[in-house]
Structure 1
Amino acid sequence: MSSPFTTPGALSWHELTSNNCQESMQFYGEIFGWTFKTMQMPQGPYYIIENQGTHIGGIAPNPCPKLPSHWTGYITVSDVDEVAIKAKTMGGELLYGPEDIPSIGRFCWIKDPEGAIIAAITYHNPEDWL
């Protein structure tokens, strides 16, 4: 079976941008049985979501607390920079990035012409951190 972390076009990661990470972890931990590991990032803590020992997503503090908490799906791609350029030429908007995540990969957030937001990511050696 192929991994969503290495298969272009696969939905590989789900990230909650939360206005209260502790409450979010308690809520989703109780409902789904998820556990969390804290990863220190330059902008603060990032909480890896684990489901039965498998990393499935993360929870990050909302950089704009005026906006509601929200989920974003990450799609695996071969070249994030190429996807960012293509999205813009097709009427999309680049909201963030492309930017590197140390030891993880490179990502960007895209808004499609209808206003929906999704992220694209290229992973560096996912077998090292999964």
Structure 2
Amino acid sequence: MGSPFKTPGTLSWHELTSNNCKDSMGFYGEIFGWTFKKMNMPQGPYYIIENQGISIGGIAPNPCSKMPSHWTGYITVADVDEVAIKAKTLGGDLLYGPEDIPNIGRFCWIQDPAGAIIAAITYKNRDE
């Protein structure tokens, strides 16, 4: 298999939406040896998770503190807009997006008919 950032259907990114990013980074850093790089985004800070120098995911502040902290997997797709339309056609809900992430790609969050949430993403040129 090729790069997870280029292979449709591949789980390519893991994102934690946390009610306490500092505590989450301390916990996962101790357990897995992950390190974190802070990025300033329009919505606030975003922390890239690195494992042995490779970016594998991110941690972001939870925009709704009433929701528990949660992990979301990002699946690489060829066309995120097409996936969003297809998800709705198949009885799912579009929770967020599609929206562009500057210099990264385009993504959306979808909820399947049973209530599970996952994200779809089309990356711009990624070399990893």
Instruction: Answer whether TM exceeds 0.5 for this pair.
Output: yes
Alpha-carbon distance in structure 1 between the residues aligned to 2:126 and 2:40 = 18
Give the aligned partner of residue 112 of structure 1: 112
Q: CA deviation at 1:10?
A: 0.2
Alpha-carbon distance in structure 2 between the residues aligned to 1:59 and 1:5 = 18
Give the aligned partner of residue 95 of structure 1: 95
Could you tell me which runs of 5 or more consecutive residues in structure 2 were left unpaired when the two chains were aligned: none
Alpha-carbon distance in structure 2 between the residues aligned to 1:38 and 1:122 = 23
Q: CA deviation at 1:40?
A: 1.0
Give the aligned partner of residue 12 of structure 1: 12
Give the aligned partner of residue 71 of structure 2: 71
Could you tell me which runs of 5 or more consecutive residues in structure 1 were left unpaired when the two chains were aligned: none
Question: TM-score scaled by structure 2?
Answer: 0.98
Q: After superposition, where does 1:25-36 map in structure 2 within 5 Å?
A: 25-36=25-36
Runs of 4+ residues over 4 Å off in structure 1: none
Q: CA deviation at 1:120?
A: 0.0
3-state SS, counterpart of residue 38 of structure 2: strand
Give the aligned partner of residue 124 of structure 1: 124
3-state SS, counterpart of residue 85 of structure 2: helix
Q: Percent identical across equivalent pairs?
A: 83
3-state SS, counterpart of residue 63 of structure 1: coil
Q: 1:42-82 CA deviation, whole Å, 9 max, x = no partner?
A: 11110000000110000000011100000000000000000
1:61 and 2:55 equivalent?
A: no
Give 2:53's aligned amino acid. Answer: G
Alpha-carbon distance in structure 2 between the residues aligned to 1:41 and 1:104 = 12
Give 2:90's aligned amino acid. Answer: M
RMSD (Å) for aligned C-alpha atoms: 0.8
